[in-house]
Amino acid sequence: MMLRSGSKAKYDVGTSVMDGSTIQYNFEARKGEECHPTGIDIETSRDSSEGGGIVKKMMAQPTDIDIETLGGSSEGGSVKKVGPKVALNKMKQDSNSKHPTDIDIETLGGSSEGGPVKKTPIGSAPVIALEGDSTEEQPYQKVVVAAHFAVVLLNVIVASQAIFAGTDSMGMVEVVGTRVLPIIATIYASIVVGDFGTGVFHWSVDNYGSLQTPVVGSICHAFQGHHVSPWTITFRKFANNVFKIAYGCAIPLLILTFLPNVDPYARLFLGLFINWWLVSQELHKFSHLKRTPPFIKKCMDMGLILSKKEHGLHHTAPFDTNYCILTGQNNKWLDETHFFRRLERIVYEATGNEANTWNEEGGDKVRARAMEM
């Protein structure tokens, strides 16, 4: 039997009888990956080899999985799905973290009951890649996010007060020319550089780190698992979606807040720049929505925020381009200059760590390009 995942990975599935009555399904992913089944309720249409009745596999932690049989089960009958969901956790050999795949169950020749097994639509339910995680928004998440915006606002207010200090005797034209226009330029610069920053950050957590990485481990795990089930992000409300980013922003924001004698324009720029990391995660979610609210779509069409088309280019193996997720305006020049390939070679030569994208489908060309830099 063979299993094919939504990420085009192929798995060889073997069976063995456990305790004389239960079939143990052993999943081995091709291309050097280990797979660990964690699904529920798979049974074959025939009795077990011992004649003890229907063979059933009972497992825990259900998620959606798509299993295809090429010639029926090892017992000679076709495999059918009797429980609502089946799951498979695959662990890459080059990573310490587990990445659950998420696809639907379907047999090539139909179920033992005479008809094809109905597919559960991809994207109809979230897939939780991290134990203990949830798409439900929690009060503490709202507090974390509120605290983030409070600190950002504090820095913006402090910077603004310092910028407008001593302008009482100035005329309107002078205030606009010497204060307002520089503020607008600073805000715009923070967006452009912020978009670039989200690209570098996105590239780094996509390609390096794991759940065990200090501070950003959960972020690495979430971004890497996002390639397997990108629709899960759309089930998250705002605070649930961004609070992990808020943790990563906390230290630089606090340093900025308590650092004395900071130039007001620098404080304004850095406060907004750090804030865009968090905001970009929500804009990232918008790019995956099946139904985009009219106002959000208008902003996408105007190029003010990340568009579906722009980000869709990233979600194709080997996931090596279009990393910027605030506005996406930096993606073109970063990809054309092979900026991230240059970084990957630097990281590889300095540490020996390969970028994850090198080991994805089609990653050989990405590796070759990086080594040419």
Exposed/middle/buried for residue 154 (C-beta within 10 Å: 0-12, 13-18, 19+) = middle
Same-domain pairing of 95 and 178: no
∠ CA 264-250-225, rounded to 5°: 130
Q: Is residue 111 included in any domain, yes or no? A: no
User: Does residue 28 sit in the same domain as residue 145?
Assistant: no
pTM of this prediction exceeds 0.95: no
Indicate whether 348 belongs to any domain. Answer: no
Instruction: Report whether pLDDT(129) > 50.
Output: yes
Cβ(330)–Cβ(192) under 8 Å? yes
The DSSP secondary structure of 221-256, one letter per residue, reads HHHHHHTT-GGGGGG--HHHHHHHHHHHHHHHHHHH
Shared domain for 219 and 288, answered yes or no, is: yes
Is residue 187 assigned to a domain? yes
The domain tally of the chain equals 2
Residue with tokens 């696809």, as numbered in its chain: 103
Q: Are residues 188 and 328 in the same domain?
A: yes
For residue 278, the model assigns a pLDDT of 95
Q: Tell me, yes or no, whether 96 and 170 share the same domain.
A: no
Residue 22's SS3 state is strand
pLDDT tens digits, residue range 137-167?
Answer: 999 999 999 999 999 999 999 999 999 998 9
* Residue 142, both tokens: 């709202």
User: What is the pLDDT confidence band of residue 65, given thresholds at 50, 70 and 90?
Assistant: very low
Is residue 349 assigned to a domain? no
The residue out of 34, 69, 100 marking a domain boundary is: 100
Q: Last residue of a domain, which of 36, 69, 100?
A: 100
145 and 89 within one domain: no
In which domain, by residue range, is 63 found? 2-100
Is 65 a domain residue? yes
Cα separation, 336 vs 360, in Å, equals 21
On whether residue 346 sits in a domain, the answer given is no
Q: Is 208 a domain residue?
A: yes
pLDDT in tens, 34-59: 444 443 334 433 333 344 443 333 33
| Residue 3 pLDDT greater than 80, yes or no | no
CB 43 within 8 A of CB 22: no
* 167 and 313 assigned to the same domain: yes
252 part of a folded domain: yes
Residue 279, both tokens: 């905001």
**Among candidate residues 45, 70, 100, the one where a domain is terminated:** 100
Report which of residues 333 and 130 the model is more confident about.
333
Distance separating alpha carbons of residues 368 and 373, to the nearest angstrom:
9
C-alpha distances (whole Å) from 217 to each of 29, 205, 211, 220, 369 are: 25, 9, 4, 5, 28
Judge whether 197 and 276 are in contact, CB under 8 Å. yes
- Which pair of structure tokens corresponds to residue 352? 């020996």
- Distance (Å, rounded) from C-alpha 309 to C-alpha 306? 9
Q: Looking at the structure, do residues 332 and 207 belong to the same domain, yes or no? A: yes
- Torsions phi, psi for 271 (to 5 deg): -60, -45
Please indicate, yes or no, whether residues 328 and 247 belong to a single structural domain of this protein.
yes
